[in-house]
Amino acid sequence: MAKSINLENIKSLFFSNKTLKQIIFKNTFWLVVAEFFDRGLGFLVAVLVARNYGPENKTLRRAQQHRKQEEIYYRTDLENCKNCKIRQVCTSGKQRTIARSFYEELNEKHSEYTKTPEFVKGQVLRKVISEGKFGEAKNNYGLRFAKYVGLQMMKLQTFFTACIQNCVRMLKMAMTNAAV
């Protein structure tokens, strides 16, 4: 008989570690979900923040999005800038243009976080725990140099290198458990 799909089965699939295949599926699923969430959040933040800038509290319109530089450009209407009292202070051109990074709000939160004691403690732990794993990837799995051109290809290279590292660790754990 086929297993019935219920909430407990779904919870156990996505939130617990049972078999090697299930762990690989679960981790891959969460990495994909995080990537989509990251892209959507960046776009939403850029649109919401742009409404705070403009001549005399006028809303800026979205002019263009530059994917390669990961910025969105906002401009005022020419009529708003012509009649503005502070135009000389605000811009040297015909109209006001603002470039906003996809990640501007996250950058601001991060700069505040770097001033906390938790961040300093985390930096100490980072040297001990995670830097060793990156060193292993660099020395043993070819992450010293980029094999392909472009940011997307580099992301793929690091993703697959991490997958291989995790597979090797899981195999070592499975072999240790089988020997006992």
Q: What is the 3-state secondary structure (H, E, C) of 26-75?
A: HHHHHHHHHHHHHHHHHHHHHHHHHCCCCHHHCCCEEEEEECCCCEEEEE
- Pair 23, 110 in one domain: yes
Indicate whether 101 belongs to any domain.
yes
| Higher per-residue pLDDT: 151 or 128 | 151
- Pair 86, 29 in one domain: yes
Residue 6 dihedral angles phi and psi, to the nearest 5°: -135, 180
Asked if the model's pLDDT at residue 3 lies above 70, the reply is: no
Asked if the model's pLDDT at residue 14 lies above 80, the reply is: no
- Pair 77, 156 in one domain: no
**Which range is most confident: 3-7, 42-46, 132-136?**
132-136
Asked if the model's pLDDT at residue 68 lies above 90, the reply is: no
Domain around 154: 116-180
- Secondary structure of residue 180 in the 3-state scheme: coil
Instruction: Write out the E strands in 44-162.
Output: 61-66, 71-75, 97-101
The pair of three-digit structure tokens given for residue 178, joined into one six-digit string: 């089988």
Indicate whether 75 belongs to any domain.
yes
Angle among Cα 52, 54, 59 to the nearest 5 degrees reads 70
pLDDT of residue 1: 45
Asked if the model's pLDDT at residue 2 lies above 60, the reply is: no
- Pair 65, 42 in one domain: yes
Q: Band of the pLDDT at 91, cuts 50, 70, 90? A: low
Distance CA 154, CA 161 (A): 10
- Pair 23, 111 in one domain: yes
- Pair 35, 106 in one domain: yes
Indicate whether 52 belongs to any domain.
yes
- Pair 46, 100 in one domain: yes
Count of domains in the chain? 2
- Pair 96, 135 in one domain: no
- Pair 105, 154 in one domain: no
Indicate whether 105 belongs to any domain.
yes
- Pair 100, 139 in one domain: no
Q: Token pair 């996250």 is at which residue?
A: 106
Query: pTM of the full predicted structure?
Result: 0.33
- Pair 127, 145 in one domain: yes
Indicate whether 38 belongs to any domain.
yes
- Pair 66, 95 in one domain: yes
pLDDT of residue 160: 92
| Higher per-residue pLDDT: 96 or 136 | 136
Indicate whether 4 belongs to any domain.
no
Indicate whether 9 belongs to any domain.
no
Mean pLDDT of 107-129: 87
